[in-house]
Every structure is written in C-alpha cells, then in structure tokens.
Structure 1
C-alpha cells in the first residue's frame, strides 16, 4: 500500500502532454468469474486500485442513476481485505446504496452501460457492459495525460484478474506492476554503473602536488596555499600525529572553522588511514565533548582558541601554537581500503544525543568523482567552501574541486550570510562552481546576474526546493539529494528541466531531486518493500557503493536502517531506508514529498525534533515538551517549542533558550516558545495537531518594554517587527532573545542596507543587538559616510 499524502489520485495534472476534450478510454475484458457479477467486480476493482494508489481506507464509489445525479456506495478497504470479501462488500454496498456525504466527492465511479447519459461523476470512471463482458476505463483528459491513463488501465486489468483468480488473496498481495514496468523502475532507471578513478582523495591531492606543485589549492583572506604546501604540511602533521601515538584505524577529532588548517588536518588523517571526526568549533562545548568521547578520539586537532572545548578527553594538538611544522615533509601514505573509514559525521538523533555516521573511503571516492563529473570540473575550476565544517558536505563541495586540481576559495565569515556580498565575492573571485543550502540559493537566483558571469553552476542541497528558479539564468542550478548515511545519491539540473517543462509544467510540480548518481541505486518502495509505479508515494531506499558503514556504537539503530536488500541482494547486499517519502515521475525522476517521522531540515541541517524535546525536559522546571517546525513568512523553517512547566514552576523563556544553547547547535534552538498546558489526545499523548500557532506578541524577556523614540528608531523598529514577525518589540530587547537567528539577522542587515544605505556586518548585530544600539550605530555610520 502506498502512503496517503493527498486525496488527489496519483499522476493527476502531472505532464504537459497532448490532451483532448474527450476522456481517455481503455476497454478491458472482464475475467470469466466476474461475468456473473460485473458491477460488483468493477466496483471492488476500483476500490482496490484507489486504496493501493492512495492508501485511503474509507472510500466512496459513485454510481450514476440519472443524467445529473449519482449516488455513492461506501466501501472500507485495507491491505488485508480479501478479494472475495471486497467483491461481497461491493455487492452489499450497492444493494444498500446511500447518498454521498455532502461536500465529499467520490474517489471514482461505476456506470452501467445504458444508464442515462450525463457528466462523468468522477475523474476516474468505469463503464460496465454486462452483455459484452467488458469494462471501459474513462480518465479525465483535463487531469491525466496518455501515459497516466495507460498506467491506470494496466493496473486496473491486473486488479480485476487478481480479484477473479485469487479470491482468498488480499489486496496487499495484488502485484500492480507489469514485468515491463518493474524492469524500467528497478533496472533502467538505475542504470548508473560507471568507472571511478582508483586513487583515493588524499592520493589524488598528493599526485597534483607532484605534477603541478605551484598550482593554487586554497585561497582565503590574506593567504594562499599551493598544492605542494598543502600536501607537505599534511605530511608534517601526519608525522607529528604518529609521534603522538596515532595509528591507522584510529579516529581523530578535527575541530576548526572553515580554514586551510582544517583541510590540512583532514588530509593528515587520511594519509594515516584514520577517520576524521568532523567537529564544528561553533558548537557548544558540551556537544563537542560528547562527540569526542562517543567516538573514542585518539587525538584532537584544533586551534588554540578552541582548546578549552576539547581538552581533557584526548591528546590535543593546536595547529597555530604547536611546532609540528618542524616535522619532515616526506610522504606519509598508509594503505587504505574502500571499507576503511574516512569521516565520522554526527547527525541529530531522536534520543537526546547526536549519532555518529561512519563514512567509508570508497563511498567518498565515488561521491567525489560523481560530483566532479556532474559539474564538469577541471584544474581550472574555482570552487568554494561555504558549508558548515561539522558535517560531511566538505566531500561534496571542496574535495571534488581539489581532486581535479582546482582551487578552493574560503571567504570571510561576513560574506556567507548575505546574498549580495556572496554574489559580489563570486564575481570578484571568478568562482565557477559552488554549493549552497536551499535558503541562500533561492535568494541568490532572484538577483540580477551579468551574462558573462564566470559562475557555471550552483549545487543546491539541504532542504526540498519549493519553487522553480527563473528562466534565463546564466548558470546551471543542480538540485542534490543525500544524507550523511548515504552521501549524495541523486541530482537534477532544475534550470534546464524548468525551461523544458514550461510555465504550465512548472506550475504542476515541485523541482525533483532527479535521478541516481554514478554507481547508486534508488528505489521507491511500499511498506512491504515492493517497488511502486510513478505517482505513488513510498519510502526512498538506497543501495550501492555510496552507503556508509552505519552508526558508530549503535548496532540496533544500524540494523533498523541498513537492511538486507530485498530487490537485488546479489549486486548490492545492503539497502538503506532513508525515512524520506518520495514518488517517481513518469520519466524516472524522483520527487521528495515528506518524512515518515518527525525529522525536519533547518537551514540545511537535519534535525530530529525528539532530540530537542529530550533536552528540553532535562531543564529545570520543565515537565514535558513538544517541538514543531513551521514556515515563517519568508518560507524558511522555524522551530517552536511548547513547554508544560512542573507544578508550581515558572521557567523563563530566556533561561530555557540559554539552557538549550549550552547543549545544542544554534540551528536547533527554537525561535518561538509557548509555555502552558499541552493538549492531549484520548490516549494521553501530546496532541500535536492541536498545538496552537505561536503568538505574534513579544515573548518573555528580561528587559522592560521601551517604545522607539525618533524617526530612525521607529524605522528600525518596523524592520525588526517585519523580520521577527513579532508585535510589541521594545528598543532595548535583544534580537536573539526575540527568536532571531543568522538567517533573520542576514535578512535584517539587507533591509537596513535597502532602507538606510548602511552596510552592517552580521557581527554588528551580535555586538549591538537592540534597536536602540543599532540606531546609534546606523546614525554614526551614515554621518561618517
């Protein structure tokens, strides 16, 4: 059974193929056992098909009796309903026919040949001709194209045959796909096998250091690094780690901001056949320390400024103060296999603590090659490092560029949050390829771009893209899909596809994630792990060389997600269940439509809402909590925490926010808070559907309300109100206590730029986080201009 996400029938209004005023018609011959009860079998077959297509169990099947009116029969269908039972239910329901509930249309309809002519009562209609022993499928051509109509006819024929030939079988047992459809879905759409260069990433970098030693590998503000310098410094650091007792197979913490030191540290680990534990130096100390201890780090590499966050758990080497540069530059190259670990990447977990994904060298090698090929990268490529350093996105963004001998540019942190500064930086530095999280990509593609821009492509990742880019952009937009557990596994050039679909086609579908990348296999499966046809929603599952080795130290969680491949175990023994809900388009491209759990994406980061809820309940005065994700007025995901205090307790929002900030990354700290009793369902659990929208009123903060004074404060106050989507903001209130975050801060600085012509840095908002202090800064800056 497919998962029900909408009452709309699959493939409705999908394509822009030829349509006529007349409905699509397909005539099917009734199986011999159905000849005696043609209407009952036709009704049962429609009910079974609609159930398998939508997952709905309470169905209404229309029956036309007069030209302008029809009655309906209510039929309940589940996956375990038997064929014989469904036919009997259809016959009994027809005998007791009742009027359809007001306002609820029929899912499909059955018309007996010879009934009074009239408009079709449903988009999907069967006309039964008992004398001829046939049924004729009518599908509204205004909603379905020829290809969709053919699919419905094929599957209806298989359902009719199954009902007649296997009366004791269940609706679940009916095989919808024909052999041709099964082959297309499982084989043709997964024809991705391709060669991959044998050397691993660090070996390719070393090769460039030998062949083109003076070529630039890394450019960042005030510094440049050639391939010779990058490789030699990685060798020196590898020698120092060996002297400190690090051995092949160990795991080494790498805790840096985006920097050349981080690249050097990771290359040193790879040369020693060690896994680099990716740690973001901006994470709270408690979270970093948990990761180091959980991963059993043999050592931690960092900078002196971050030593206090990592000391005491493993030997620490600060690259900016240690004398490791005195080590020899001779090559270090321990043997590495495809199944050895290259990265330990932490991702949000549902139990209150993050979980570590073990990424294999072979998976990273395949990913790096596929990204280089996808973007047409070469030694002339000018790439970027914009993604947060604590995740595996460096394998997608930076490593493909370095693997082909190109140059990676690392901007100042002030550039990353502003689309205007980012565009200016792209053009100034001659960037040809980059990777962006969805919110920033959408802001960038709305800007005006010169026709001669050097930018060739933007890869977009992190969240579902919910709007098509404008036509005529001078670069390609490539939608990527993946996860830490399976790397990037699908891609789609949405700029090219959007132009090909045209305005009408784009209006009917969101941008897809495309097709599987090199050496990756993707399936869309039902709850019984059987392939689904186009249009039906199921779970996205992945097999192939891209899979990670599972979760470190969590065998039960690994066994739940990494299962024996039921489709092609000989070729790919293991299959990963993503938990993402998806469906095929008829051309084989894939669209993501949701999740099977309460996992969401926030600023491109995967977040288990349960992890935030667990941390909330550990804070003083909190009895229970729920967290929901909602879209703000700009379409960005914002988190809202609902808190029920302990009896007699009155926890302040400021204290709750501070407590969360000490244990969670900033993107996991909710922007809005609702304190009070939580609604419960009849089984005593929190009724999430009944949780209210967060109020627009000013939250509980420590400062007394003060109204704006003067035109400048009033103007800035209006901008704050717009960005924060709050009423009653005081000029002494802290922006971040009101739910502000980096995205909203960037939006605010751009509004200030547009309204007042003053360029503010993000750091200015951290330093001057109130309307009053911002007004003083804007006034001083404008006066000095």
Structure 2
C-alpha cells in the first residue's frame, strides 16, 4: 500500500484529496502516459508531494495562486497536482503564448510563484524548477478544499484586457462527480488529454479520471490538430473517452470507423455544433456547453443521429446543448430577469454549485455579471449572466440561439471581438478598428479586421498608404494576443462607416476581397510543390512565393494538413512550429531544402495507410 509521509486530511474535501484516494487504491496502475514514458499513481503522488513541499519551503503561503508554465505533458499534470497539494490554486500558462500576455496573467493574478521546466524554455531566476528529487520530508501539507480556490483561468474581456475567472474546489468537485456518474468512469478507462492548454475544458480531461484511478493519455501537438492523425491515435491508444475540439469532432463524425474499438464516448463543446453522428458510429457522441465562469460545462446531452430527431421544432434544428448537469440551474430570462415560456428565446442565466467566485481583482465586473439568485433558497446564491441565448425544447434540452454581444468562438476559442479591435487600435498607425466574423467555405469562421488610418495622415489613398501592411498588423496582434485571435483578413478603409447614431455600421462593411498573389512566382521545384499543396488545401488558383499562409486563409487546423502533406511529399520531418516560424511558401520550401541537404529526410510512420482511414463524406 502507498505510504504517505504525513496523514492527508479526511474526509476528502479537495480535488487533490480525490486523486490521493485513487493513488492509495491503485498505486501501481498507470496514471499518465505520453510518448517516451509512463508513470504510476505511486510515482504521481510522490513527485507532486515533493513539489508541494518545495513550494512551501520557498515561502509560498496556502491560498496563493501559482502559475504553471509548461506545455501539455506528464510534468504539467504533476505540477498542477503539486500546486493543489500545497494548498494553492494553479494558473496554467502556455509557453507559446506571447510574452506580454504571459507576463500580464502572472502579474494580474498576483501569482506568488511560477513552476517551470527546461523543456519549455529557460527557467528564469526565481521560478521553481520541477524535478524528480524527493524534498522536505518534514514539511506537512495544509488541508484545503471546499470554498478555497482551485484554479484561475483567463478569458477574453470586452475592454481588451483578459479577465481571470476564479474556480473553487467545490465548483470543480461538482463537475468531477457529475462526470464520473454521468459517464460511468472507472479505473479501467483511458482518457485523452487533447484540449487547448489554457482552456478550462482541459481540466475536464484530467481530474475526473485521476480521481477514478483511470489513465490519461497525452496527445502530441501534431496529432491534436489533425482529424486523420487524431482518429488513428484514439484507436491505437485504446482511448475509451475522448474530449475533442469541436472543429475536429465534426470531421471525425464523418470518418469511417471500425467496429469494436475501445472508444465508447466522444465528448465535445465550446462552439456551435452543426453536425449529427451517423448510426454506424461505434461510440456515443456528447455535446457539452458551459462558460468558464461556471466550471467547464453546465449542460450536456447525447447527440442523436438525425433520423432520431422527433422534436416538433423542425427537421432543420441543430443539435442541442443538452440538459442541465448535476449542480447546475439553468434559467432563460427576459430583459427584466423574468422567466420566458418554454419554446421562447431567453438569455441563459446559470445558478447552482457550478458558479465560480467571480473575476480575480475585478469587483465591479463581478458584481455586474454575478447577481443574487432570486430563484434559490440557498444563502448567498448567485446567478451568472452568460450573454448567450437559448430556448427550452419539449424534451427539456436547450437549443442554442447565439450571443447577445460581441463575443464569438473560432474553432472553439472564446474571443471578444472588441479585445482584438482594441489591440489593433494600439498600433500607432491605426486610428480605428472593428472586427467581425464571416463564414468561409474552406476556412470556416474567420475574423475580419477593418482598419482606418489615424486622422490627419492624409485623405483618400494617402491615408490608406499610412496604414501598416496586413503582415505587420498580424504580427502586432500576435505579439499581444494568442495566435488564435489574429484576424484572417485585414481590410483597409479610409474611414469606418457609421450609422445615424454614431455607431459603426456593421451592415455597410464590405466583404474582404480575395487576396491576389502579389510577390514573385514560385521558381524552384520545392517552392512549386509547396505552392501546389497550399493551393489544394486552401482551394486557391495561385499563390506567390512571398504569400503568408496565415494571411491567405490558413489557420492551425489547415496548417496541420500542409505539414502532413509536405512530410509525405518530401520525406522530411516537419512540425507545426516550422510552418508558424516560416509561414511563406519560400520560407517553408527553404526549410525543406535545408533538411534534405543535411540528410534529415525520413520515411514517416504515418505514411503507411491505416486499415480504417479518414473518409470524409
């Protein structure tokens, strides 16, 4: 039996206590697997406990926020658990986010420390290094849980400044307990860890499964952005429950799947689901909905095949967002906070055990979004105002009807359009900016930025000439915001069109014109081959050697296809990072040529055709 150096508090009130209970019950079972190794529950507990003691030895008091600056890995999960064991709350920091954003979140959260490792960048002075050594056997760990803070996650803000959402142990335990019950999670399950690092949905892939003695399989960066590779990974790794980003989940619904695979549940959420599963799929498909402020998910429902839709709302109804989970109260209210009749649209307000504390260091915003719950008999109960609209169907499930403000989601990423516009307006050569969303046949939902010059820089063409180039504006946005927030198109205007009331006339904004190749034509054989791959994926007639993939309609999911096809065409090892760092046709071709010249070619294992490939229909 696993021997602890000090007794852990009983009964179990903290998220970490649930994991420790599983470690006692299943000490030799595999807790986490990733390429290159695996660790047991015994090893997970020992390493996390050592980190917790190291944090306490460093003088970080219980109740503090501790940032974990690591990529998705076994070490990252160990660090998150170690922070909880130290009585602190964790803040996940993606090392690939812009430095300015990382620094802001650490400072704004008031983080008392940062845990890091060499594999994700240099460990700065003052940061706490994660290692394998035993530490501080005489240091007792505090008992924390219940209303204590478990984690902070940052979401987009309408003012251009992201807001830190505070989630307690009780909030997260409610979600964990519902997940374990609703999906019958046991120690025999294998769950994938594939969601974006800084999304709260990533926590849904960790804690319910570690609390059940199940194992977590960590997906590599390339696989998690490719439907074909992800399908193969789910099958080969014998995943039983997979949480998949919406954009990839919709593709996987159309794939050809073998029968009898271990996968029994595929979960998705974070965006509007527009596809139904086929009757032949060997697993159940579940759609979840919930804002970060209310702990990952507040409604959930199995998505039926289209032929099973019997609701009177009509055959064109999109999949619902399900019914309330345990501990979540869903109210559809009108502008006077009165319930609307069943079948009528109303704004979604959320109450119950799932509602988080509020926004860190934002008391006014918290007071505006978290209001006293007039429908509850619980003392100090609050409702969270989502800004989402829905209607209740006869089945008791909810049909999502859109937003009431400027917030949107692009490939599952929650984005405040005003945040991107505010960022652009910080550029010294941009006088005004507005950001909208448009549908593209190939790229899906895209951010479109309309920019006008600073007044006084000249009239007509002279004013437009003073604006920065699309490439410069994209680079500017990516220095301040995550890459997912960068617009796909930048439309220069002499001035933004206005309504009589002095607001931007969104209806008068022109559609972005197709981007014509403006540079030299591809010349070398490699450039021409890369250009052909890009044209095929983006469905373009032509590209120049100077074209930036991300400025002609590309995004991370399509970038994965470019990398995969380039690897197959040239037999060289490429990664998504290569394309992000050299996004032009010329740059990627030069990178390929350099690797071929160095003899770094290889025959990738993925080139062997799978028995059950991805056949989109």
Q: Deviations over 1:196-232 (max 9, x none)?
A: x954321121122222211100001111111011111
Structure-2 residue corresponding to 1:693: 511
Q: Deviations over 1:465-491 (max 9, x none)?
A: 012122221001100001110021110
Once the 2 structures are TM-superposed, how far is the Cα of residue 759 of structure 1 from its aligned partner? 8.7
Secondary structure of the residue aligned to 1:601 is: strand
Pick the aligned partner of 1:247 from 41, 61, 76: 61
Would you say 1:544 and 2:544 are equivalent positions? no
Q: How many residues align?
A: 578
Structure-1 residue corresponding to 2:268: 460
Secondary structure of the residue aligned to 2:535 is: helix
Structure-2 residue corresponding to 1:319: 130
Bigger relative CO (Cα 8 Å, ≥ 6 apart) = 2
TM-score, reference length from structure 2:
0.87
Would you say 1:735 and 2:553 are equivalent positions? no
Would you say 1:482 and 2:290 are equivalent positions? yes
C-alpha contact 2:321 2:399 (8 A) present in aligned 1: yes
C-alpha contact 2:311 2:394 (8 A) present in aligned 1: no
Higher deviation after alignment, 712-721 or 277-286? 712-721
Once the 2 structures are TM-superposed, how far is the Cα of residue 507 of structure 1 from its aligned partner? 3.1
Question: Distance between the aligned counterparts of 1:311 and 1:711, measured in 2?
Answer: 44
The 3 A distance-change label for structure 1 pair 332 and 774 is: same
The 3 A distance-change label for structure 1 pair 729 and 533 is: same
Pick the aligned partner of 1:672 from 486, 489, 502: 489
Question: Distance between the aligned counterparts of 2:472 and 2:55, measured in 1?
Answer: 41
TM-score, reference length from structure 1:
0.69
Once the 2 structures are TM-superposed, how far is the Cα of residue 420 of structure 1 from its aligned partner? 1.2
Once the 2 structures are TM-superposed, how far is the Cα of residue 784 of structure 1 from its aligned partner? 7.3
Once the 2 structures are TM-superposed, how far is the Cα of residue 400 of structure 1 from its aligned partner? 1.0
Question: Distance between the aligned counterparts of 1:394 and 1:711, measured in 2?
Answer: 42
Secondary structure of the residue aligned to 1:660 is: helix
Question: Distance between the aligned counterparts of 2:568 and 2:311, measured in 1?
Answer: 31
The 3 A distance-change label for structure 1 pair 772 and 554 is: closer
The 3 A distance-change label for structure 1 pair 767 and 543 is: closer
Structure-2 residue corresponding to 1:494: 303
Where does the alignment leave 5 or more consecutive residues of structure 1 unmatched?
A: 1-196
Pick the aligned partner of 2:176 from 365, 368, 384: 368
Mapping for residues 473-622 of structure 1, pairs under 5 Å: 473-487=281-295, 488-495=297-304, 498-501=306-309, 507-570=315-378, 573-622=381-430
Question: Distance between the aligned counterparts of 1:548 and 1:379, measured in 2?
Answer: 29
Would you say 1:643 and 2:428 are equivalent positions? no
Question: Distance between the aligned counterparts of 1:263 and 1:716, measured in 2?
Answer: 38
Mapping for residues 647-662 of structure 1, pairs under 5 Å: 647-648=456-457, 649-662=466-479
Where does the alignment leave 5 or more consecutive residues of structure 2 unmatched?
A: 1-10, 458-465, 604-617
Structure-1 residue corresponding to 2:7: none
Mapping for residues 135-150 of structure 1, pairs under 5 Å: none
Pick the aligned partner of 1:762 from 559, 567, 576: 576
C-alpha contact 2:530 2:589 (8 A) present in aligned 1: yes
The 3 A distance-change label for structure 1 pair 502 and 711 is: farther
Secondary structure of the residue aligned to 2:251 is: helix
Pick the aligned partner of 2:82 from 237, 250, 268: 268
The 3 A distance-change label for structure 1 pair 783 and 254 is: closer
Larger radius of gyration: 1
The 3 A distance-change label for structure 1 pair 508 and 739 is: closer
The 3 A distance-change label for structure 1 pair 198 and 564 is: same
- TM-align CA RMSD: 2.9
